[in-house]
Amino acid sequence: MKTILLTGFEPFNKASINPSWEAVKELKGWRNGEFAVEVRQLPCVFGLANRVMAGLLEELKPDVVIATGQAGGRPELSVERVAINVDDASIEDNDGQQPVDAAIVEGGPAAYFSTLPIKATVREMRERGLRAGVSQTAGTFVCNHVFYGLLHNTANTPVRAGFIHVPFLPEQAGKGVPSMTLDEIVEGLRAAVIASVSAETDIAEAGGATH
Ligand code: PCA
């Protein structure tokens, strides 16, 4: 039986909801003969979020970790490819911190690649009729911070780990801003879980970007 840890973030930047947590919490208790899903919320705070995640790795010993966060303004489910070793915040976190050009892990590698089957995940999402793609940057705020910390802590282990950014919910999006319904986001996370347990290796399919 595989343990799948799904995390979502608390609201940040004075928002009252975060679609990542709204979606993740819908999957609480999802299990079948092959896997059991655990859901947890992370604080949107540099440092603390990574300590909480490290504690969850110890406590739950998951086989797969799919961390999620809000990427307001993005039109599709973004399956992140790469985490980079820098905090460079354009807004304050929920503790008033705003690091600039700070290493996440002093002396650590510049970047880590997701160890989830990202192309298989995108395909599984698209097969369900959802807008999805590989993203080449998770930004430099708390989501990238958690993504990098997660990959650092699971490097050279069999744990599959990665990050998915989700769009705003319709009620968060102003005029002309893209959004996705909660049902669609939840379905996308279901697709990600299924891909992570069923794709032994990733598929080779174009998912790059020219800019
Ligand atoms: N999104 C932010 C942090 C928390 C969240 O949900 C980000 O993309 O960094």
Residue 12 CB less than 6 A away from ligand 1? yes
CA distance 19 to 83: 21
pLDDT tens-digit series, residues 123-136: 999 999 999 999 99
Å from CA of 17 to ligand 1 middle:
12
Q: What pLDDT was estimated at residue 10? A: 98
Q: What percent of the chain has pLDDT over 70?
A: 100
CA distance 180 to 178: 7
Question: Token digits for 1?
Answer: 């039986």
Q: What pLDDT was estimated at residue 32? A: 94
The band of 199, judged by pLDDT with boundaries at 50, 70 and 90, is: confident
Ligand 1 pocket mutation, candidates 143, 145, 169, 189, criterion most atoms within 8 A of CB? 143
In the chain the domains, ranked by start, together with CATH numbers, are 2-198 (3.40.630.20)
Q: Is the pTM of this model over 0.95?
A: yes
Look over the chain and give the mean of its residue pLDDT values, rounded to a whole number.
Answer: 97
